[in-house]
Amino acid sequence: MLHPSEPPGDSIFRDDPGRPIPAQSTEWRTLKASGRVVLSNGKIGLLDADVDPLANPSTGTSIADARTLDLTWTRWIVEPPASGVDEKATFTTT
């Protein structure tokens, strides 16, 4: 937890036994990065090596190209104050 007198920065990466960092094998991370890990009906599975992860499995057509989000409405977003007491009554500072 970051205390009011503590500077921000790498403090969020401190060892905290309540929030251990999960360990993942290199093979698993490689499968995820290549798009072969899928979640289907609440179960984790793997696509075969010859399956294109960027194709619709029903039709075989490619997934749409990247799009740019419409940001014209962002002026209506109100950010919370940078310091003060949050919903859990924890004091935070910038």
Place of tokens 């905290």: 16
Contacts 24+ apart (CB under 8 A), 90-94: 90/1, 91/4, 92/2, 92/4, 93/4, 94/8
Q: What is the pLDDT of residues 36-65, one digit of tens each?
A: 898 888 899 998 888 888 888 778 888 887
Q: Please, which pLDDT band fits residue 24 given cuts at 50, 70 and 90? A: confident
What does pTM read for this prediction? 0.41
**Residue in 78, 86, 81, 63 with CA at minimum distance from that of residue 1:** 86
